Amino acid sequence: MLREALEFLAEQARQSVTPTEIKSPDPARRIFLMPDRTLKTIDVGSEPRNHKVNSLEDLMRLATRFGPDLESNAEDSGDHPVVWYNENRIVLVIDDELERQNTATLNLVESDQFQTIRRLAKEKTAHDQAGFVRLLRIDLAGTLAPSVLLDPIRRVTFENGAMSQGVVERGKESLDRSVKAKVTGHSDIPEDVTLMVPVFKTPGERNVYPVRCVVDINPMSQSQAFRLIPLPDEIDRVVDMHMSDVRSRLEALPESVPAYYGAP
């Protein structure tokens, strides 16, 4: 329809005729006053619908609303909606078999805790004792009981001194230059922990998942003594778990509304 309007204007220009557009009360129509004082009305159609929804439940309601009712004798609107979902957004394409211009989108926003997990996996950041306490108490708040790791970290003390023989074990290491560095209280610190982390903070998408991490201790440096590192592929694993959960909920849609893992 918009193409027809443009073709009409182009034709008028070719004929050296300058129509005057009159403001139309209907945004789907354009009205022109022709040089011969007649009116020309052109249907340009409505603006595309780009709905933003705040929950998957509402998106599914819209999909059901626009989808054809296969059990009734109602006239098919021709929209035939399709749902696409991935780690960033869930999109309902309302008119998949028509112009594919009308959509409803639910953006998936990662939780602050999961963003911290991503950063730890990428940067493998080392912390001093105070920084590691802040990481556990604030950045990863609610993901692990304090008694598991936070409290033992708070009780750790460091000792330095001369040594007479080499010792290599967790929390106690020696260097060739015969300098001893020892972490006192390290025996209470687990070698690995499982955090319960929400992947997203979007309403209705705040399921928590287990993320396994290694607790790494470097007794030779108080300024870089502690690291918390997610195991390989843990991030992809928990994201896949949430996508599977989304898929299971989308199965409640009518058979006339298919859902695909990907992007439109």
Alpha-carbon torsion, ordered 167, 170, 171, 173, to 10 deg: 30
**What is the per-residue pLDDT for 9?**
62
Q: Which residue has the higher pLDDT, 130 or 187?
A: 130
Domain identity same for 140 and 231: yes
Decide: residue 77, CB within 10 A, 0-12 exposed, 13-18 middle, 19+ buried. Answer: middle
- Read off the DSSP letter of residue 110: B
Instruction: Answer yes or no: is pLDDT of 172 > 60.
Output: no
Q: What is the pLDDT of residues 110-148, one digit of tens each?
A: 999 999 999 999 999 999 999 999 999 999 999 999 999
**What is the per-residue pLDDT for 156?**
87
Domain identity same for 77 and 171: no
Instruction: Answer yes or no: is pLDDT of 100 > 60.
Output: no
User: Is 21 a member of any domain?
Assistant: yes
12: Cβ contacts below 8 Å, ≥ 6 apart: 18, 19
Q: How many domains does the chain have?
A: 3
User: Is 168 a member of any domain?
Assistant: yes
User: Is 240 a member of any domain?
Assistant: no
Nearest to residue 164, comparing CAs of 176, 177, 178, 154?
178
Residue 62's domain spans which residues? 50-109+245-261
**What is the per-residue pLDDT for 70?**
46
Q: What is the pLDDT of residues 16-73, one digit of tens each?
A: 567 777 776 666 666 776 777 676 776 655 566 788 999 999 999 999 887 665 444 4
Element (H, E) at 234: helix 234-250
Alpha-carbon torsion, ordered 138, 141, 147, 148, to 10 deg: -110
